[in-house]
Amino acid sequence: MTIALYPGSFDPVTFGHLDIATRAAAVFDEVVMGVFHTPQKNLLFTTEERVELIRKAVKNMPNIRVDYYEGMTVDFARRLGAKVIVRGLRMSPDFEREFEMALMNKKQAPEIEVMCMMASVQYQFLSSSLMKDAARYGGYIDDLVPSHVAEALRAKLAAPRKK
Ligand code: ADP
């Protein structure tokens, strides 16, 4: 049984992430979407919220499960027994960063392969951060994220931010 870990911040999950997860689930026996608990990013959603939003989105996909982790991605992959780390590659912004991260992961865990899947054409320019900016100013995001994520975004952005 080949388990693949698909790690990310997923703040929040978009159709671009779900496209990669679904395509990976057609290749591997099990895909674990691993929500990174403390990325060096200014997050909008808590870890529990990010996990819940993904769980709801993949509830009809039997071989995708969701969990969160702290520390190194390769250590989480080892704990899961995952042989593969899956990442998504968009046209311009991702390549150098993913290359660097893949080499570092390979150094830490030579037995784990990093496999990148090309983003589908309709999601090439979709990022959680840009989508959040659009949502913040009342922009149209309904074809970028599942409806429960759009609702969560509207609720979160309407509420005063906690310090
Ligand atoms: P991270 O902080 O780890 O980059 P993200 O949640 O931003 O986490 O992204 C997780 C993974 O999904 C990364 O490999 C990223 O390149 C990929 N990804 C992000 N947006 C898209 C998209 N629109 N299409 C395909 N892959 C994507």
Q: pLDDT tens across 78-90, in order?
A: 999 999 999 999 9
Residue 149 CA to ligand 1 center (angstroms) comes to 16
Residue 132 CA to ligand 1 center (angstroms) comes to 14
The answer to whether the predicted template modeling score (pTM) of the entire model surpasses 0.75 is yes
**What are the residue numbers of the active site?**
17, 41, 90, 128
Counting beta carbons within 10 angstroms of the beta carbon of residue 161, is it exposed (0 to 12), middle (13 to 18) or buried (19 or more)? exposed
For residue 10 and ligand 1, the question of a CB distance below 6 A is answered with yes
Q: How many CA atoms lie within 13 A of 117 on its CB side?
A: 24
User: pLDDT tens for residues 88-139?
Assistant: 999 877 899 999 999 999 999 999 999 999 999 999 999 999 999 999 998 9
User: pLDDT tens for residues 47-89?
Assistant: 999 999 999 999 999 999 999 999 999 999 999 999 999 999 9
Give the β-pairing of 3-8 and 84-89.
parallel
Q: Say what the pLDDT of residue 39 is.
A: 74
For residue 8 and ligand 1, the question of a CB distance below 6 A is answered with yes
Instruction: Name the residue with the closest Cα to ligand 1, atom 27.
Output: 88
pLDDT at 163 over 60: no
User: pLDDT tens for residues 2-12?
Assistant: 999 999 999 99
74 closest CA partner among 15, 147, 157, 7: 7
